[in-house]
């Protein structure tokens, strides 16, 4: 599970993000110019701008620090900046590379990502077309190698079972493909957490499955929804 910003009004229930962890970096060279792409998972616009500010300090001697970011399950926040490159040759191609990224066949839902491309000029002019290709390819090449996960809006449910039965039931649920949430402990029971799609039919099937696994003693109690990271399906 990963913490993040809640999006209560979002129409989306699933989208793709960078895996939690350190930022991802990749470098290409085009006609002696170095293009260093930094991808960072960011939950809001302030975070994206903070990433850019930090890279400006780190690569203070670079000529350009071009950027693009996409934020939110619905990708409602989209920004780009050419940082001194000819208008439309850097930030927009970078943003386009983020927006057009396929995370599954026909699916373009990558979000909560900031891309910064640091350019060290190599002395050879690339021209407008060359810059567009270089900035786009730099982001695309980084995304090809970056770890991705799905972020799903799931209903957190709980089921209380005797301590002696909790381990077996949890193993059975994991084997059945359920995403487990936080486990807590009471005096008489272990309270298992399950993260389920927020769909009445899915919740009903899960309740039936629990009843079958526990001889009718385990009861599923739906709780609040949360955004949770799960492996790409």
Has residue 112 got a pLDDT over 80? Answer: yes
Q: Are residues 190 and 85 in the same domain?
A: no
The vertex-175 CA angle with 172 and 179, nearest 5°, equals: 95
Distance of CA 157 to the CA centre of its chain: 23
Q: Per-residue confidence at 1, pLDDT binned at 50, 70, 90?
A: very low
Alpha helix segments (H runs only) across 42-162? 45-58, 91-99, 127-145
Q: Residue 7: inside a domain, yes or no? A: no
Q: Are residues 56 and 102 in the same domain?
A: yes
Cα–Cα distances in angstroms (integers) from residue 144 to residues 116, 133, 137, 175, in the given order: 16, 16, 10, 31
Q: Per-residue confidence at 31, pLDDT binned at 50, 70, 90?
A: very high
Q: What is the pLDDT of residues 152-190, one digit of tens each?
A: 999 999 999 999 999 999 999 999 989 899 999 999 999
154-190 in b/e burial notation, b at 16+ Cβ within 10 A?
bbbbbbbbeeebbeebbeebeeeebbebeeeeeeeeb
pLDDT recorded at residue 4: 44
CA–CA gap between residue 185 and residue 207 (Å, rounded): 21
Q: Are residues 99 and 173 in the same domain?
A: no
Give yes or no for a contact between 229 and 19, defined as CB atoms under 8 angstroms apart: yes
Q: Per-residue confidence at 9, pLDDT binned at 50, 70, 90?
A: low
Range of the domain at 140: 14-146
Q: Are residues 190 and 111 in the same domain?
A: no
Strand segments, DSSP code E, in the chain are 14-18, 24-30, 33-41, 64-71, 77-81, 113-120, 148-162, 179-180, 184-185, 189-197, 221-230
Q: Residue 67: inside a domain, yes or no? A: yes
Q: Is the pTM of this model over 0.75?
A: yes
């Amino acid at each position: 599970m990963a913490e993040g910003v809640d999006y209560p009004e979002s129409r989306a229930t699933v989208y793709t993000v960078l895996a939690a962890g350190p930022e991802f970096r990749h470098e290409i060279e085009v006609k002696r110019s170095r293009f260093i792409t930094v991808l960072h998972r960011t939950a809001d616009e302030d975070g994206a701008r903070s990433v850019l500010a930090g890279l400006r300090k780190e690569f203070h001697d670079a000529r350009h620090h071009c950027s693009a970011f996409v934020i939110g399950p619905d990708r409602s926040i989209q920004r780009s900046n050419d940082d001194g490159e000819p208008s439309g040759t850097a930030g927009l191609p970078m943003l386009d590379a983020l927006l057009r990224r396929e995370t599954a066949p026909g699916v373009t839902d990558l979000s909560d990502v900031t891309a910064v491309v640091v350019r060290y000029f190599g002395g050879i002019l690339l021209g407008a077309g060359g810059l567009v290709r270089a900035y786009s390819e730099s982001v695309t090449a980084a995304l090809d190698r970056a770890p991705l996960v799905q972020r799903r809006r799931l209903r957190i449910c709980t089921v209380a079972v005797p301590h002696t039965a909790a381990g077996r039931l949890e193993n059975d649920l994991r084997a059945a493909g359920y995403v487990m949430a936080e486990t807590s402990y009471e005096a008489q029971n272990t309270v298992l957490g399950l993260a389920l799609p927020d769909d009445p039919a899915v919740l009903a099937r899960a309740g039936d499955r629990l009843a079958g696994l526990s001889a009718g003693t385990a009861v599923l109690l739906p709780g609040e929804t949360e955004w949770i990271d799960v492996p790409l399906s």
